[in-house]
Amino acid sequence: MATTTTTTNGAAAAANVSRRDHVVIFPFMAKGHTLPLLHFATALTAHHKTLHVTVLTTPANRAFAAGRLPPSVSLVELPFPSLPPLPAGVESTDALPCPSLYPIFLRATALLREPFAEYLASLPSPPLALVSDFFLGFTRAAAADAGVRRVVFHGMSCFSMAVCKALIVNPEAAAAAAGGGVEPGGGGAPFPVPGMPEHVGITADEVPDALVKFADAEDPVTRFLVDDVGFSDVLSWGVLVNSFAALDEAYVAPLESFYQMPGARAWLVGPLFLAAAGDTSELEEEEQEHDPDGCLAWLDDAQPGSVVYVSFGTQAHISNAQLDEIAHGLVQSGHRFLWAVRSDTWTPPAKVGPNGRVVRGWVPQRRVLAHRAVGGFVSHCGWNSVMECLAAGKPILAWPMIAEQHLNARHAANILGVGVRIDTKPGGMAAAGDVVGRAEVEEKVRALMDAEGQAGKKMRKGAAWAQREAMSAVGEGGASRVALRELVDELQRTYGDVVVDEGKIM
């Protein structure tokens, strides 16, 4: 496949820069993975003005990236591989017409190996580093061949990554818990996770679906993780984490223990959307444009703390029966609500009423959460959503569905104490026939929005603490700001000391 690279966004690309001040960033094609790396690109150029940053994208993702990057960041487009039955033009997980196409989507992204290697080979000298999503496992060997260090990014917290890795290398811990008396909806008693601090216990229901299936060599996602991601993650030079010390410090050492390159460490530089804020007047204007349904104007008319914001992210497919129950539960709660719905086949029950606003376009979520009218967030607990909620100082009603979202729910609601939870199972609402009823939705929304009760006050106090910590982490002298500077310094100090890739495996 021929590499067609197109440069946009700025002059740096024209010079085809490639030296110790050039950073190449390659995000995975899912909104929750791409957005934080766009923010990372913005933060790098905002705080390290001598760096040249290139973001790799594909044709159908280019406009999304271009609209969220400052002109100083270059965009290079690689052709998205064709792999039937994946429909042409589906280049991002949120565009998948059904979840069953996910494995083939992953396989298609692995075919980017050749154009990526050609791109690296076209550079006059090795860039300072490649920051690559872990799903793009092929980038490690290609980068090593080109003499480039690879910093890996997962889009997850240290807590969730460390738990997942611990369960992969200690499958008996997860298996023992799964066999240890799981109550319907309750998930059984929490069990300790090897290598994690004592206060960490998770239930069998919180074990991510991909790990439950990990022993099944026939499972297509397992096959992809083994064949295409393999050991490239743990052989990376370092790990970029969109989190901050106050949330995740206790889990940094357990996470780092899985990485094999000498001195490999986790760099906590988040929340990245706040770290990017050095360059934001332009970005804020763009966010305004990204409000096609006028959500912010609608919120302007509401009383402070009176609106529940509801979103289940860009990936979960939710049944119509479940959407109906959510609609009734929200209405019965008596609170105003703003609800971002992905399904374009579902019609809300007529009696959603004047208190409810259902939107189907892009919602400027970070600004919605920060709006004074929003009093709480009903969320699937994608890690970005959790951090955005905490940075806004709002409590969360955790309704996890897929991936590591159950672990994020435990982290936010049980460990940090900033939320309440819906009782779910792995697969949750995504699983056919597993519907949470309207009465539970109503009860939990009321609990979320009760700012005066003891539990509500405690959650809000925790959320206000997290907000202060998030702001101070990215401010001058804050832990995330310092880590970003140290990361760049360390990469520049050791430029040229490229570690020989011995293809070592655990």
* Residues found near ligand UDP in the complex (CB under 6 A): 30-32, 35, 313-315, 340, 362-363, 365-366, 382-385, 388
Would you say 148 and 235 are in contact if contact means Cβ atoms under 8 Å apart? no
Q: Write down the number of H helices and E strands in the chain.
A: 22, 16
Nearest approach, Cβ of residue 313 and ligand UDP (Å): 3
At closest approach, how far in Å is the CB of 163 from ligand UDP?
17
Give exposure, 394-410, as e/b (b: 16+ Cβ within 10 Å): bbbbbbbbbbbbbbbbb
CB of 366 to ligand UDP, least distance (A): 6
How much of the chain is in helix, strand and coil states, percent to nearest 5? 45, 10, 40
Distance, in Å, from the CA atom of 288 to the CA atom of 468, rounded to the nearest integer, reads 25
Task: Name which of 317 and 461 has its Cβ closer to ligand UDP.
Answer: 317
Rg of the Cα atoms in the chain = 22
In whole angstroms, give the CA distance from residue 332 to residue 350: 14
> In the bound complex, what is the minimum distance in angstroms from residue 386's beta carbon to ligand UDP?
7
**Nearest C-alpha neighbor of 111 from the set 147, 82, 86, 154:** 82
Q: Which stretches within 200-289 are classed as H helix?
A: 209-212, 220-224, 245-248, 252-256, 272-275, 280-289
- Closest by CA position to 23, among listed 151, 206, 194, 211: 151
CB of 125 to ligand UDP, least distance (A): 34
Rounded to whole angstroms, how far apart are CA atoms 188 and 202? 9
Give the tokens for residue 113: 């190996």
Residue 333 C-beta: closest distance to ligand UDP, Å: 22
Q: Shortest Cβ distance from residue 210 to ligand UDP (Å)? A: 14
Q: How far apart are the first and last CA of the chain?
A: 33
- Kind of pairing between the strands at 238-241 and 266-268: parallel
Token digits of residue 33: 């993975």
Distance, C-alpha 124 to centroid of its chain: 33
The separation between CA 129 and the C-alpha centre of its own chain, rounded to angstroms, equals: 21
Alpha carbons 198 and 294: distance in angstroms, whole number: 46
Q: How far is the CB of 473 from ligand UDP (least distance, A)?
A: 17
Residues 439, 329: contact at Cβ < 8 Å? yes
Residue 24 beta carbon to ligand UDP: minimum distance, rounded to whole angstroms:
22
Smallest separation, CB 149 to ligand UDP (Å): 26
Query: Nearest approach, Cβ of 390 to ligand UDP (angstroms)?
Result: 12
**Which residue carries 């690559």 as its tokens?**
132
Q: What is the largest CA-CA distance in the chain?
A: 65
Reading the block at residue 35, the tokens are 């957005």
Cis amide leading into 71 (omega within 30):
no
Q: List beta partners, residue 340.
A: 311, 359
Q: 245 vs 401, which CB is nearer to ligand UDP? A: 401
Give 30 or 409: the residue with its C-beta nearer to ligand UDP: 30
Structure tokens at 290: 């990204």
- CB half-sphere exposure, 13, CA atoms < 13 A: 18
Report the nearest approach of ligand UDP to the CB of residue 320 (Å). 20
